[in-house]
Amino acid sequence: MTTSSTAGPRATTKKAAGTTTNRTSARKIAEQLRVKDDESPWSEDEISEVREVLLEEIEQHRVELKLAEDELDDLLRASGDGSGDDQADAGAKTAEREHEISVAANARASLRQAEHALEQLEAGTYGICENCGNPIGKLRLQARPRATLCMTCQEKQDRH
């Protein structure tokens, strides 16, 4: 019993130390990030919130990717069993495989975007448009943490 009561404070101390480290890290990051002229600087809480959203997105996309890849593997294994299928069955199986390939590709791309945004956040370069080098804007990043382009550059890209 003495061991478990000793482990509790240690675990709490480790957790508190991790929180302190995250706070220090968030403070350093907040000091580095650029914002638009009409925006207030990033706060530690805003940095922590964006980091948490990105970590949740990364986990969610990893799960989605794993499910899509497993489903695709199952479909590919089952595709050899199609002897005797009529054209409609073969077409339906092909469409299903193509759908799963698309789902996996989208999950993989979203995962890469979220990981890239987290890397930028940790490096202190988060929120800078990858096209023009201007700040993206806090409101845009809070709405879409994976954004890599300011609204002007995003609109230009969408038109092309």
Per residue in 16-44, pLDDT tens? 444 444 555 778 888 888 888 899 999 99
CA distances to 57, 71, 82, 112 from 48, rounded to whole Å, are 14, 35, 51, 20
Domain borders along the chain are 2-124
How far is residue 114's CA from residue 127's CA, in Å, rounded to a whole number? 13
For domain 2-124, which architecture applies? Up-down Bundle (1.20)
Is the model's pLDDT at 11 over the cut of 70? Answer: no
pLDDT of res. 80:
63
Phi, psi at residue 135, to the nearest 5°? Answer: -60, 140
